[in-house]
Amino acid sequence: MSNTSEDLLFDLTLTDDQRMNRETMQRFSAAEIRDQAAQADKSSVTPAGFYQKTLDLGLTLMPIPEALGGAGVERSPVSNALNAEDLAHGDLSMALGAISPLAFVNTLLDQGSEAQKEKFLPRFCTEEFLAASTALIEPRATFEPTELSTKASRNERGFELNGCKSMVPLGMDAELLLVIAELDETGPAAFIVEGTPEGMTRSAESNMGLRTAQLATLTFDGVQLSAEALLGDRNFDLQRFIDLSRIGLCALAVGTCQAVLDYVKVYCNERIAFGEPITNRQSVAFMIADIAIELEAMRLMTWRAASLAEQGLDFHQQAYLAKVFCAEQAMKIGTDGVQLLGGHGFCCEHPVELWYRNLRAIALLDGTASV
């Protein structure tokens, strides 16, 4: 069935609430993220109290029903993507950590049972930050998110979980984890893991980027879970989970690439060589123009996929294409940003090298940023 002309349109006009919320996110990003990102990356430690401060943003509180202690605001993939974009303008790594609990909450709202919502969602409505995350990625070169090596099997006590997950945001501290595994012969399933049960180990990762997102490898060796740990009362829709996550990842890439563009425009206009700004050179001006063009395409593809998801329409193709394009262009924009600064691009005194390293991860992070 072909798309009608109406299906191909989407409204780019933000609501009043979205505009006000963007102003809040942008102020927070500038005040609490941007200035601290370099030192946090250097030490691989998130600034003290940072995640507690994110509670004031209401990221996890907003979509939770009022009856469970939340704000009861209708879930909006578009608004969530805008939030991710604005936070990543300060730093992709800290933004990923900040929205990881939201990915858990969104998936629980999307596919959890009523009993699970009543049990776990109120825990996100207190005055203390609750670290939560999702675990899909596996540490193998041929990893495909729909072909999982982590296995779950039924037994008389519930389920036994075996396997290994990697690049789990907040993985060292998360009190709640949503672990995606292959269940017997029935297909993919998600399991809510509380704390660190017997047989589960956590190992901190050391990567070239995302150093403050607390990425960890989680190993499950005969971990026993209760029957109630199985998410939802129907088959888990893994593809929907992946597609919503891809929109979130694209939004993170857009925010960071916008930071690159903003920085190189100012730098290159102020950088004098041979008696004139280097932007007077066509090779420089054209490279900056290309970044702006690629960035706008990334943003429009991301917003379109989020809009379709919000309307309840099929968005799988749009999410997939956005992810492929954003992953490729994010690496190119990061590389071009470093190149435009010349020797300064290699120096840590300028943030572009940090953005370059973080943007390299966009292609790898399936299942970490569900909107």
Per-residue pLDDT of the chain (371 residues; tens, 9 = 90+): 445 555 556 677 888 889 999 999 999 999 999 999 999 999 999 999 999 999 989 999 999 999 999 999 999 999 999 999 999 999 999 999 999 999 999 999 999 999 999 999 999 999 999 999 999 999 988 899 999 999 999 999 999 999 999 999 999 999 999 999 999 888 999 999 999 999 999 999 999 999 999 999 999 999 999 999 999 988 999 999 999 999 999 999 999 999 999 999 999 999 988 899 999 999 999 999 999 999 999 999 999 999 999 999 999 999 999 999 999 999 999 999 999 999 999 999 999 999 999 999 999 999 899 99
Sort strands 151-155 and 176-183 into parallel, antiparallel or unpaired.
Answer: parallel
Instruction: Report the distance separating Cα 214 and Cα 96, nearest Å.
Output: 10
Which CATH architecture best describes the domain 238-364?
A: Up-down Bundle (1.20)
Structure tokens at 161: 């979980």
Instruction: Of 205, 157, 154, 149, give the one whose Cα is nearest residue 180.
Output: 149
Cβ atoms of residues 231 and 111 within 8 Å: yes
Strands annotated E in 114-235 = 132-135, 151-155, 158-168, 176-183, 187-194, 200-204, 216-225
Residue type at 363? A
Residue 195 C-alpha from the chain's centroid: 22
Q: Which CATH superfamily is domain 134-229 in?
A: Butyryl-CoA Dehydrogenase, subunit A, domain 2 (2.40.110.10)
Residue 52 C-alpha from the chain's centroid: 18
pLDDT of the residue at 1: 41
pLDDT of the residue at 6: 54
Q: Where does CATH 1.10.540.10 sit in the chain?
A: 16-129
Which CATH architecture best describes the domain 16-129?
A: Orthogonal Bundle (1.10)
Q: Where does CATH 1.20.140.10 sit in the chain?
A: 238-364
pLDDT of the residue at 178: 98
pLDDT of the residue at 10: 67
